[in-house]
Amino acid sequence: MVDVVLLDHDTCYRAVSAKDARFDGQFVTAVRTTRIYCRPSCPVPPPKARNVDFLRTAAAAQAAGYRACRRCLPDAVPGSPEWNLRADAAGRAMRLIADGVVEREGVPGLAGRLGYSTRQLGRILSAELGAGPLALARAQRAHTARILVETTPLGLADIAFAAGFGSVRQFNDTVRTVYGVPPSQLRAEAARRPACHRTPAGPPGAITLRLPYRSPFDPHGLLDHLAQRAVDRVESVEGGRYRRTLRLPHGPATVDLDLTARPGAVLATLRATDPRDVGPAVYRLRRLLDLDSDPQAVDAVLGADPVLAPLVAATPGIRLAGTADPAETAVRTVLGQQVSVAAARTAATRLAASLGAPLPAELRAADGPDLLFPDPVTLAEGLTASPPGGPARRAQALRGLCAALASGDLALDAGRDPAALRAELCALPGIGPWSAGYLAMRVLGDPDELLATDLAVRRGAQALGLPGDASSLTGRARSWSPWRSYAATHLWRAAVSAAPTARRNT
């Protein structure tokens, strides 16, 4: 049994007593008298302080013998923003576990990606998070299983394997242990909830999932960012919806994200080739939209600066756009070097039209995207046979990047150490600190990358009366840490307002 309390008891108990939803996903409340764990905002009366422990993860609570509260569903909340802030082994491991690495590669594969032995990694995670990698992955599987049980018509046996369990018996035992009831009862309870609390059914062949976030939330800034960069036939933005094709571990997929349909959550309608990809898809979409962010913490730091305060007040809950496909984002970043956003979009559209793969017919919607952005192997071969247009230096950089990705010499995933990734990127021809920093921001979700050399960041700073040179701006921005990536997003928007022709592809 794990019996590790990692958080300040008094601080956490105040949050639980106030039913403060800002802390949902950042820790769980384990009640010793009932052996149940809850989210901080659980609607039931708070337990007595002497009867509770506070743990960082649901996995730690499960390992200690607690089961999930079926009233507040502590796993149906945004994830902890701590995993983006932390670049240590524990934070990187949590990001990879959420992406399904343990299911696909096992604990040895996870440990190898992080550069540790399995024993070392187990000790680190148990000490930091109260649970080892298998327990953390088991909690992730239980969460995916609950989503599929409650929101899809899939048979329970199919759900067992889709969620990553090795057998139906293991699936049943885990669900009983975590939720206290068999999967069939979870499905029956979900069907009895009021319609306003249920996720709407998806169209035939699709599932609709609710992706919760912490308020405030700025959907329109994300939609504008995505619309300006949308690659024809790969993605589209219309109204409050973003649609795109996806390459997932077990096959292609499409997603339709409605960012404005329901307060407190984005609705995602997913069509996947293989149901095993539901968990990784949810994780990647959450990272794309920065749904695990703590906007009040970000706004509190940035809003304390008198120059940024009006921007924060005008756009509370600004989000840092991420990526659903790191390799695609890397390629598009190189295509966007030293050109406008529109020119970068045109170049990416041509590349996709030339080398992209058609979406399987069963996944296509009548008016939706129908093309998969080319994968690194296809790009490496295609760019060698037919060099891309544009400056020779950019073409060389693009070929070198795609070759490194295709060979596996360069790994782009959420578990990378930011400093190591920057160093590896800068070692490639034609990729400098700006591109490396930009990819750390978009791929790793690094919240503290100012990109002070970026032309649009500096123009935005000047428009606000801040220093316009990189060195002085870096010094001025020290008080914005650890949220300088969000500050850069505010500065980019200020630059667009002041000078819409800013050329840097942000």
Residues marked active site are found at 38, 454
293 sits in the region (left: phi over 0; alpha: psi -120 to 50; else beta) called beta
State whether residue 155 is helix, strand or coil: coil
Going 444 to 294 to 235 to 159, the CA torsion angle's sign is positive
Edge-to-edge strands of the sheet including 52-55? Answer: 52-55, 28-31, 36-38, 67-68
Beta bridge partners of 244: 235, 255
Host H or E run for residue 354: helix 341-355
Cα angle 124, 129, 134; round to 5: 75
Closest of 443, 167, 456 to residue 325, by C-alpha: 443
Instruction: Please report the DSSP string for 271-296 in residue order.
Output: EESSGGGHHHHHHHHHHHHTTT--HH
Task: Region of 31 please: left (phi>0), alpha (psi -120 to 50) or beta.
Answer: beta
Tokens 């993605």 sit at which residue? 235
- Residue 242's SS3 state is strand
The three-state secondary structure class of 254 is strand
- Report DSSP state, residue 75: T
What phi, psi does 283 have (nearest 5°)?
A: -60, -45
* Cα–Cα distance list, 305 to 299, 352, 369, 460, 475 (Å): 10, 42, 42, 15, 14
* Helix, coil or strand: residue 212: strand
CA 74, 79, 81: angle at the middle one, nearest 5?
135
